Structure 1
């Protein structure tokens, strides 16, 4: 009788247990980045914003641990590390990998171009939705773009005043990527290939006279300590960084979490652009004050004439030909990037 009673109790308890809600398994995803945590700029702050929003929007079920400052993968290692599953999220400096991501580097072939930081992010979102080749290019490396981080509107930071194209003749200007070497030559200047970390010393020692950059980045790298003229040459926003996921990690998300990530990617561009605008405004005020940087206008019509130079047009055609070979209707994209 006692055994029968115990069996009944066990059966009842089992039945109750089966009807209780089972707590969902919490997951901690990994974000690998080259950015230092304490950088305090729009890139670092917006990364933390994404992480905080992800936890909030998943109801605290999931979170992301950030491995800052290249502690897991250096800048040049992030695409391969992310593809291999070392991280689930990561930020990729797209122009550093032109052979891997030519389609996703479209903007880099069209400098100058007329669009702002936020507009370039919106265009990248649109192109990924409209043209599957953009996603397919990343999928070859087991990557998925979930957000976009264009850089700010660029001008020229110089060690001497520049008022027109004629003032650029013979100057040495830092160059990189696709469009800048041809554009600098078309302006009558000499392109000099120097990486970001070496540009401060190059400006200080007069190895170069100018570098393309925006105010926030110029302050971040402290170039404005050694170059005191910012030329508002309307080069447009540069691209920039992909916020990417390991494709297997993305495909492994449940539908609800995937929806959170997709929406966060869209919201990220707005938040990042707002932070970047705030940074730029602060820097411009500092330039007026203790930093003593003179901001100078540059005639847009003179730059527009330079865009017609055969060297500049040849670079643009490189991208058009490659995109066309991939089946992308390139002219539709080019229309958005015409200066």
Structure 2
């Protein structure tokens, strides 16, 4: 072999060795991939534990809360992760607001009516005649919060959004209720103080009980019926044991999603903005549309299955129902006013918001 060939081989060997050395040493300096960035974001993510009482299979869980959590995670670039705990896993239904206030959970959803006397001004929105749909109820509540009418009741937390369920109608196991006197002596589950006053004004016995216990109580005869939105009767399987329904806007349920104030305040401004952009009236209306859709579907379903359904579409102008419902309304407003709060002013504001929310 010639000297030139030997020199060429030597040069090639040195070049290969240098290349291998550079590759080995430089591996740790290669640019980060999108996967690496996602992993880093996930490691640094702020996790928010969200507790609520709705079942994991409920429409609000599947069609509102899960998409909401996903949107927040996406818009924050993975830096905010909402971990949802349905079915009251982390907090009791009636204690979820306080759990959020105290930081036992980061976010919580509760019906105001679950804590008697805690949100008396907000619960004025539950009175009969103010709402005929979940959309109207949520819009009315969010309006009253946004304009300051009821905001003082939430100063110990960071409210994300209000929402309303559809009108609470009457559902019974053995007896179809067509007139108020048909309720006399019946044990009816009361979801809130407002509904309790109305139930009592008609001679029935109001019974306090978490929504998750109602099915068994009806099945065992501990209760005769309840006032519940149509969507919730399907969610909590009430229609399996109660096949008599009075389709009357008896009252409306208000609910909220709120956050621990210190947790919210600890976030950087850009993450606060992500939460702010996914709060307020837009979310109130999203929930309303979901509940309204399912309310109609459940009504159609029970009628198709042959359940007994009495229709009382306008009870405040019905000769049988108007007087007891107005009596119950006056009692609630009087009781709130007795605590020093201007119940009548809030009631007037609620009526104005109700009217404005009809077109939303």
What TM-score bracket applies, with the shorter chain setting the length?
A: 0.7 to 0.9
Give the structure-1-normalised TM-score. 0.77
Aligned to 2:236: 221
Question: For residues 219-268 of structure 1, what are the alpha-carbon distances to aligned partners after superposition, in whole Å with 9 as ceiling and x for unaligned?
Answer: 222221222111111224311x2100111122233333333322312322
Aligned to 2:246: 231
Aligned to 1:294: 308
Sort the Cα spacing of 1:169 and 1:71 in 2 relative to 1 into closer, same or farther, 3 A.
closer
Unaligned ranges ≥5, structure 1: 1-22
Sort the Cα spacing of 1:338 and 1:64 in 2 relative to 1 into closer, same or farther, 3 A.
closer
Give the structure-2-normalised TM-score. 0.73
Report the alpha carbon displacement of residue 62 of structure 1 after superposing the two structures with TM. Answer: 2.7
**What is the count of residue pairs matched by the alignment?**
308
Question: For residues 97-134 of structure 1, what are the alpha-carbon distances to aligned partners after superposition, in whole Å with 9 as ceiling and x for unaligned?
Answer: 234333333334x2453342122222222222222x73
Alpha-carbon distance in structure 2 between the residues aligned to 1:294 and 1:257: 51
Alpha-carbon distance in structure 2 between the residues aligned to 1:36 and 1:177: 17
Which of 86, 90, 93 is the aligned partner of 2:104? 86
Aligned to 2:82: 64
Greater CA radius of gyration, 1 or 2? 2
Retained in 2: the 8 A contact 1:35–1:68?
Answer: yes
Report the alpha carbon displacement of residue 51 of structure 1 after superposing the two structures with TM. Answer: 0.2
Aligned to 1:254: 268
Alpha-carbon distance in structure 2 between the residues aligned to 1:274 and 1:303: 28
Which of 37, 47, 60 is the aligned partner of 1:42? 60
Unaligned ranges ≥5, structure 2: 1-39, 356-360
Find out whether 1:136 has 2:152 as its counterpart: yes
Aligned to 1:245: 259
Report the alpha carbon displacement of residue 31 of structure 1 after superposing the two structures with TM. Answer: 2.5
Aligned to 2:142: 125
Alpha-carbon distance in structure 1 between the residues aligned to 2:347 and 2:291: 30
Question: For residues 166-205 of structure 1, what are the alpha-carbon distances to aligned partners after superposition, in whole Å with 9 as ceiling and x for unaligned?
Answer: 4334444333532233322333x32231413443344334
Alpha-carbon distance in structure 2 between the residues aligned to 1:63 and 1:233: 40
Equivalent residue of 2:278, what SS?
helix
Give RMSD over aligned pairs: 3.1
Sort the Cα spacing of 1:85 and 1:208 in 2 relative to 1 into closer, same or farther, 3 A.
closer
Alpha-carbon distance in structure 2 between the residues aligned to 1:68 and 1:234: 28
Alpha-carbon distance in structure 1 between the residues aligned to 2:204 and 2:181: 13
1:153-302 matched pairs, under 5 angstroms: 153-158=167-172, 159-187=174-202, 189-195=203-209, 196-239=211-254, 241-265=255-279, 266-289=281-304, 291-298=305-312, 300=315, 301=318, 302=320
Alpha-carbon distance in structure 1 between the residues aligned to 2:354 and 2:278: 29
Find out whether 1:96 has 2:114 as its counterpart: yes
Question: For residues 129-157 of structure 1, what are the alpha-carbon distances to aligned partners after superposition, in whole Å with 9 as ceiling and x for unaligned?
Answer: 222x73333223xx111111322221111
Retained in 1: the 8 A contact 2:137–2:354?
Answer: no
Alpha-carbon distance in structure 1 between the residues aligned to 2:240 and 2:55: 24
